[in-house]
Structure 1
Amino acid sequence: MKVNKSKVINYGRKEYQYILYKKYYKDVFRTVYYIVKDKEIAKDLTHDAFLKAYKNVESLREIENIRAWLCTIASNLSKNYLRRNKKFTMLELHSESHSTDDFVDEYVLDKIERKNTQEKVRNLLNELDPDSKEILSLRYYQELPYSNISEILSLNLGTVKSKISRAKKKIFNMLKEEGEINEKRAKG
């Protein structure tokens, strides 16, 4: 969807904002959620991303890919949020919101559920640095092609591919350390 100033002005600012919000909310929310891994924070940051976009839309001449532009704003806000709140991990946030007994029960249940590799990878994703987490989330959870990721992150296509490759190697090595992948399987 190509957007230009005259469309926003002719259609009406409020109506246009509503259309953008309805059309792209899920994509923007997913981008934020896969970075911060907290539903309430993701909702707040998604809202902030749309507000920032609405505030800046008139300063732009044209936006070739509005979805990519909105997701870029959202991912930048998310990474900034994580940098500012580095001291809190998801485990700390989780344990603060539940009693110790509830936390232990949930931990045991979570261990049982993590039998499949996909769940383990999802958990390991949270241990990655924000940039690696973001690029893998865009590729594998949002299923974006390399070209869109390149556009969203303002990186060369080759850089995107190499960053994805490095992030996948990190996950692979983490799985090896946890014993999920044995040496024979890793080589074969």
Structure 2
Amino acid sequence: MSQNDDQRYIDKTINGDTRAFGVLVDRYKHMVFTLAMKIVRNKEEAEEVSQDVFIKVYQVLNTFKGGSKFSTWVYRITYNKSLDYLKKRGRSLQTSSLDDSVEYLLKVTESVLDDLEADERKNTIKEAMKELASDDSVVLTLYYFEELSLKEISKVMDLAIDTVKVRLFRSRKRLAKILERRLKTEICKNHERR
């Protein structure tokens, strides 16, 4: 759906058409829930955050000026609401440190992934991402699954573009290490069958 379609439903909502807001909710509910889940890491809490996000979006919809894509604006609200939720419960966004001394065998991982079917590959990556810290999982989800640009991610996460690039690079390396570990088992199984 295009930005013009979003703007049409935004305008209708501002003018009192609650069904138009329902269309926006339907369009973005999966995206909002997925991002909230990556941050709070609990299904029920992610559902609660998602509800809070759409309440906030509805309350401040008239402040959306179109300076960025509507999805980016909603992502930003989701990101902030998720962090607020953690803060209110005395928790913080999980972060991880990079072990620079570890070398990652990306070619091995990629060759094994190439042998997997597309859906299986996506599921394998999503399962591996559950082992990442929230900040790593969020940046990878926004970039690869939601296909946001670096500029859009920088707006959502309120970070400089260079910082987003570094996080994306480090997150990829961490994910590669997890995939390598998980896929070694797959390699062994395939080798034993031959």
Query: TM-score, with normalisation over the residues of structure 1?
Result: 0.61
Q: How does 1:1-188 map to 2 (within 5 A)?
A: 1=3, 3=7, 7-8=11-12, 11-62=15-66, 64-83=68-87, 84-86=89-91, 118=125, 121-125=128-132, 128=133, 130-172=134-176
Deviation at 1:158, TM superposition (A): 2.6
Task: Give the residue type in structure 1 aligned to 2:157.
Answer: L
Alignment check: 8 A CA contact 2:53 2:81 kept: yes
Counterpart-to-counterpart distance in 2, 1:137 and 1:10: 30
**Distance change >3 Å, CA 140–CA 62, structure 1 → 2:** closer
Deviation at 1:16, TM superposition (A): 2.9
**Distance change >3 Å, CA 57–CA 10, structure 1 → 2:** closer
Counterpart-to-counterpart distance in 2, 1:124 and 1:39: 16
Tell me the secondary structure at the aligned position of residue 124 of structure 1: coil
Deviation at 1:21, TM superposition (A): 0.8
Post-superposition Cα deviations, 1:11-67, rounded to whole Å, max 9, x if no partner, equal 534233212112211111111122223222211111110101111112344453111
Return 137-146 or 71-80, whichever deviates more.
137-146
Task: Give the residue type in structure 2 aligned to 1:163.
Answer: R
Counterpart-to-counterpart distance in 2, 1:78 and 1:41: 9
Deviation at 1:169, TM superposition (A): 3.4
Deviation at 1:168, TM superposition (A): 2.8
Structure 1: any 5+ residue segments left out of the alignment? 90-115, 182-188
Task: Give the residue type in structure 2 aligned to 1:144.
Answer: L
Alignment check: 8 A CA contact 1:34 1:134 kept: yes
Task: Give the residue type in structure 2 aligned to 1:140.
Answer: Y
Post-superposition Cα deviations, 1:100-122, rounded to whole Å, max 9, x if no partner, equal xxxxxxxxxxxxxxxx9747632
**Distance change >3 Å, CA 5–CA 141, structure 1 → 2:** closer
**Distance change >3 Å, CA 4–CA 175, structure 1 → 2:** closer
Deviation at 1:173, TM superposition (A): 5.8
Alignment check: 8 A CA contact 2:28 2:71 kept: yes
Post-superposition Cα deviations, 1:48-102, rounded to whole Å, max 9, x if no partner, equal 1010111111234445311111111112111222343429x9xxxxxxxxxxxxx
Counterpart-to-counterpart distance in 2, 1:161 and 1:79: 21
Query: TM-score, with normalisation over the residues of structure 2?
Result: 0.60
Counterpart-to-counterpart distance in 1, 2:82 and 2:9: 27
